Structure 1
Amino acid sequence: MHLRFTTGLADAPQLDVDVNQLVIAGWVGRDRDAVLHHIRELEALGVPAPGAVPLFYRVTTNQLSQQCELEVVGEQTSGEAEPFVFFHRGEYWVSLVSDHTDRHLETFSVALSKQACVKPVASQAWRMAEVEAHWDQLELRAWINVNGDWVTYQEGTLASLLTPMDLLQRYFAGQPVSEGFAMSCGTLSAIGGIRPASAFRMALHDPVLNRTLEHHYVTGALPVVA
């Protein structure tokens, strides 16, 4: 899947990236109690607990999209803001993705639920080398629209999650990374619990370099026809 990012950098103002492998990392909290909280959060919706943590789900790359108007099947879907790391021209870059998921299907199969929905991606990116040293200070936020009002849905620093380099080391286990690899690097718990939402905003803020990656999108629901 072809994605285009702006960077604000003189040496690489625009990145044209062909993602050829997409992995979604799940259950990535550093604090085991926080991971168990997220597991219980999903169990309340009928989602079975994982067999191990973290887990890595392969998803087809054609599910990635940088559009702001998307379609889903049914009314039981919602997003989760996550750091998005990809390997391009010999180095890692950072952007922002929503692991938009079918919550009804998730109660039967987490892997299939992740495959069922498009994954919206921001159109800006940072060099990993510029943020790796202060990664834990990056601030992740998301909002959902409820009856016309934007409500905070997720909020916190990335200090509560395993770092991308830790996740990548676990996933590749010493094997080399290839051009076009991308990983969605886990998420924060939902404030007030996971729930469907058709309008979603997300942001990753860097308080050290004072900049923000942002994206928003809406989903239109197609009917569920038996």
Structure 2
Amino acid sequence: MNPLTFELPDGSRRTVEVRRLLNAGYAGRAQDQVAAHVEELAALGVPAPAEVPALYPVAGYLAQQTGAVPAQHARTSGEAEWALVVDADGELLLTAACDHTDRALEAHGVAWSKNAAPDVLARRAWRLADVADRLDSLTLRAWVTPEGGGAEQLVQDGTAAELLPPAHWVDVLRGRGELEPGTVLLSGTIPMRPGVDQFAGRWRVELGDPATGDTCALAYDVARLSEPIG
């Protein structure tokens, strides 16, 4: 089991032992946005899915709160997402997440690529019930910094309204018998901005609440591993 600790706005903390990790895919509410994401991945050699939205089980230990993600090569990148977390008491939490993905491996199998790198989660979270009345107004943004340094660039900029809502996935999890303490589900992502190189040396993701000015945020460096021998 993999423990994650979240700080809530009231200063309390929740520690969650991750027992199940799931990544949603192609989960945009608008079909044109889903098509845009399919096109983005097709440009990287990833075949179109047979069914949307998709849901990929991922090894639980890959849910991490870390400042560094190891990468074996240059073709890995993140995806700005929100994460739904079921805490030990069964309460639903919402936080920012970044699904770091091996794009080279993705061309051979999306599920494989999801298990090749961590899902990075923020250390701050909100009770889902506390933001339920304004979910669609929550902002979701990601910035990248080029490998080797340089100016940070905005690579994703949207709102939670672009994605299927947490309520959709709560129903899916309940139907699968997986709405249980320790379950973590990532939402799927929004389109990348054209002209920005996603194969970066650093990723930063922010889930924001315009009503309060509060944010859940994370950042990590992509740490290239040394060359193998043999």
- SS, match of residue 133 in structure 1: helix
Unaligned stretches of 5+ in structure 2? none
Task: Give the aligned residue type for 1:28.
Answer: A
**Superposed, which structure 2 residues align to 1:47-196 within 5 Å?**
47-88=46-87, 89-146=89-146, 147-173=149-175, 175=177, 177-192=179-194, 195-196=198-199
Distance, in Å, in 2 between the alignment partners of 1:121 and 1:180 is 14
Distance, in Å, in 2 between the alignment partners of 1:32 and 1:67 is 33
Identity %, equivalent residues: 35
> Which of 206, 210, 222 is the equivalent residue of 2:213?
210
Distance, in Å, in 1 between the alignment partners of 2:31 and 2:167 is 19
Structure 1 position 224, deviation (Å) = 5.3
Structure 1 position 74, deviation (Å) = 1.3
Task: Give the aligned residue type for 2:213.
Answer: N
In structure 2, the CA distance between the partners of 1:148 and 1:62, relative to structure 1 (3 Å rule), is same
**TM-score, normalising length from structure 2?**
0.92
Distance, in Å, in 1 between the alignment partners of 2:174 and 2:75 is 33
Task: Give the aligned residue type for 1:59.
Answer: V
- SS, match of residue 173 in structure 1: helix
Q: 1:18-72: per-residue Cα shift (whole Å, max 9, x none)? A: 0100000001111111101110111011001001000100000111211212312
Task: Give the aligned residue type for 2:28.
Answer: G
Hey, what does 1:19 align to over in structure 2? Answer: 18
Task: Give the aligned residue type for 1:134.
Answer: R
- SS, match of residue 105 in structure 2: helix
- SS, match of residue 149 in structure 1: coil
Q: 1:67, 1:217 within 8 Å by CA — same for their partners in 2?
A: yes
Unaligned stretches of 5+ in structure 1? none
Task: Give the aligned residue type for 1:177.
Answer: L
- SS, match of residue 104 in structure 2: helix
- SS, match of residue 23 in structure 2: strand
Q: 2:45, 2:107 within 8 Å by CA — same for their partners in 1?
A: yes
Distance, in Å, in 2 between the alignment partners of 1:176 and 1:103 is 28
Structure 1 position 218, deviation (Å) = 0.1
Structure 1 position 173, deviation (Å) = 2.2
Distance, in Å, in 2 between the alignment partners of 1:135 and 1:161 is 10
Q: 2:7, 2:13 within 8 Å by CA — same for their partners in 1?
A: yes
Task: Give the aligned residue type for 2:110.
Answer: V
Q: 2:33, 2:190 within 8 Å by CA — same for their partners in 1?
A: no
1:220 partnered with 2:229: no
Distance, in Å, in 2 between the alignment partners of 1:113 and 1:173 is 26
Structure 1 position 204, deviation (Å) = 0.5
Distance, in Å, in 2 between the alignment partners of 1:85 and 1:156 is 18
In structure 2, the CA distance between the partners of 1:175 and 1:125, relative to structure 1 (3 Å rule), is same
Structure 1 position 7, deviation (Å) = 0.8
Moved more, 126-135 or 71-80: 71-80
Hey, what does 2:10 align to over in structure 1? Answer: 9
Structure 1 position 198, deviation (Å) = 1.9
Task: Give the aligned residue type for 1:159.
Answer: A
- SS, match of residue 52 in structure 1: coil
Distance, in Å, in 2 between the alignment partners of 1:76 and 1:41 is 14
Q: 2:42, 2:48 within 8 Å by CA — same for their partners in 1?
A: yes
Distance, in Å, in 2 between the alignment partners of 1:43 and 1:178 is 35
- SS, match of residue 154 in structure 2: strand
